[in-house]
Structure 1
């Protein structure tokens, strides 16, 4: 704030030398009365005469009153900004200090209201005793309250700026913490980063990967201590426009609630892991995103089989080619039906009626097709290893080996 209102008001105020001298003499008493009233009437400042807070309040009040008196007694033609600058700077710093202490502006604004009342009461009494005319007294009152408004506005600006600055700094610290966790840094390094960020480690962390455009409305509802990482995500291109959430202690009902919150978003939710091992949760999320075509919310805990089989797509393709080789000589249309029937037979453990219901065919059709399959595979269908490999090759994707 530049104090324009207070400066303009002071231009129309002319204090007699005797009045100015009386006010200057009374200044220490006015400061003491103001401090006493603030510490007595504002609960946040109770007991503030001891410690750093008391010294800060007292110093700010003395600077403010000194600036006011200089402004009120400045001579015509002098620079009006000179007496205001130190007081406005002190008020700005006071606002920043309140933000750093974790307090809102409510207490400080209450202090300004009380300070204005007490300062006016004390100074008006002193001015009247020194013979200030009634007309001058009105302008004097106007200057007191305009000046307090300027100080209050300067403190609000300091408070706002400090919150913005500290928020950005903490965000950078949290980004760094996320990078260290994903890189598997040693515990000492990670703990130091957590302390710098003012972050309390939880028992577990869960990785959640989703598009950046979908995260803003979600963040306010996340559990306290959640970490948002936007940059340098391992295995993710910046062009993908993805962000990573590391969500603390997401087990049981909390996980269910988060999944509901994510409804309508394209999110992949990893498993909960001890917080120092959250890189494993992120790795699961990243692999799942690479292999799945599912849209919407993907809970990796519900897709473990797909994740296991998709971990090495080339190996799975080789397995399918090898174990389905006996079907290769059958014409394409028959090969597709036999592979489909073999898959259902494996998953239903050979229960013919269940296979027929699954495929919407007659049980005799199942018997006929499986007879053809047995002719192709022979005794291999009784080999547990072959059954395992066929289950892996066909179990998750219908007709996966039909076109071989």
Structure 2
């Protein structure tokens, strides 16, 4: 917990009318602060309703009230956070650990809450005529106070984990291992009940660099599992099993992980999560590249490549058979014919489109397709041959 050290801005004196205005705005500031946390920290999206939500809202109001009391002190009075505010922050940290939320999520809530509350309080200060220099001191006091409370919450979170969290974390790791191993349903459900893990409809495998694991845990559900065992192909990477992000929720997950070098598998029924992990691992092994400018690799954007490379040996055999008519053609000519055939297949035989794709004259396309028809004969009109050539040239 806090050591009660004085905060910055010892010479700051706010007019009584400004302090009164801030007190009058406390409920509004608290509500907007909570709304900002809900909007920007996914872990809290469903947490701020019911009894736990009421506790968190009360903690926000207590913290803001403590700050007003702090700001009202005179130059002679030491500027240290009030005991109730510090104790409230400490207990909040312990409660968040018991709820399974990471310290990263709580600190993110503090950062966003500080930004939102500062926006409201500074507006009150400016409307009260506070000068720029005084406003700067006020800002220093606001953020030093938030740092003090977040440190107290971090201590509470750490203390709770030290006393009760380790056992639960180990049981959750074991549960993740059971699900990946395809354990019988009864065994998996019993393990989930033992650790009070809410059974989701689906799980989605997310692979992230070890360096990003803690940050990612701050933006996904606190019920996310982290299997402890080492898995082949995941050196220097961590596997997370994220609950219930199927459908529209997947878009939110992908957006949150856009710059995290993550690989996201498909959502699968909880007992079938191994299939999600296998697809993510296969995408990594194939070295597939992200779509667009982001670093995230979404396996849903690469289904064609994943299907195509599911059996590399079969693909090699298919390629050899489909392209056998070109085997005796000179290498440079064969390459041009393959490019032409690929474009012809993709553009469904439209000569102008094929020529544009190859940056050549339509007559060149006509000549090459004539050569290919000499080599393939009527097979180019056979749907099965067209399918095999499309796969072979993909």
State the match for 1:187 in structure 2.
Answer: 185
What TM-score, normalized to structure 1?
A: 0.56
Residues 221-244 of structure 1 deviation map (CA, whole Å, 9 limit, x = unaligned): 1123111234233x335xx11211
Residue 346 (structure 1) aligned with residue 345 (structure 2): yes
Residues 185-231 of structure 1 deviation map (CA, whole Å, 9 limit, x = unaligned): 01111011112222101111111112111221121111231112342
Unaligned runs of 5+ in 1: 1-43, 45-94, 104-155, 397-404
SS, match of residue 217 in structure 1: helix
Moved runs in structure 1, 4+ residues, more than 4 A?
Answer: 98-103, 156-160
- CA drift of 1:256 comes to 1.3
> Cα distance 1:198–1:225, how it changes in 2: closer, same or farther (>3 A)?
same
> Cα distance 1:102–1:349, how it changes in 2: closer, same or farther (>3 A)?
closer
**Separation of aligned partners in 2, 1:390 and 1:277:** 34
State the match for 2:200 in structure 1.
Answer: 202
Residues 307-364 of structure 1 deviation map (CA, whole Å, 9 limit, x = unaligned): 1111111111111111111111111111111100101111111111121122122211
SS, match of residue 303 in structure 1: helix
Residue 236 (structure 1) aligned with residue 233 (structure 2): yes
> Cα distance 1:161–1:336, how it changes in 2: closer, same or farther (>3 A)?
same
- Tell me if structure 1 keeps the 8 A contact 2:205–2:273: yes
Q: Name the larger-Rg structure.
A: 1
**Separation of aligned partners in 2, 1:181 and 1:343:** 43
SS, match of residue 215 in structure 2: coil
What TM-score, normalized to structure 2?
A: 0.58
> Cα distance 1:364–1:178, how it changes in 2: closer, same or farther (>3 A)?
same
RMSD: 2.6
**Separation of aligned partners in 1, 2:383 and 2:335:** 23
> Cα distance 1:160–1:280, how it changes in 2: closer, same or farther (>3 A)?
closer
Unaligned runs of 5+ in 2: 1-50, 52-90, 100-153
SS, match of residue 222 in structure 2: coil
**Separation of aligned partners in 2, 1:337 and 1:358:** 13
State the match for 2:300 in structure 1.
Answer: 301
State the match for 2:275 in structure 1.
Answer: 280
State the match for 2:251 in structure 1.
Answer: 256
- Tell me if structure 2 keeps the 8 A contact 1:319–1:389: yes
How many residues were matched structurally?
245
> Cα distance 1:100–1:313, how it changes in 2: closer, same or farther (>3 A)?
closer
SS, match of residue 366 in structure 1: helix
Residue 337 (structure 1) aligned with residue 323 (structure 2): no
> Cα distance 1:101–1:285, how it changes in 2: closer, same or farther (>3 A)?
closer
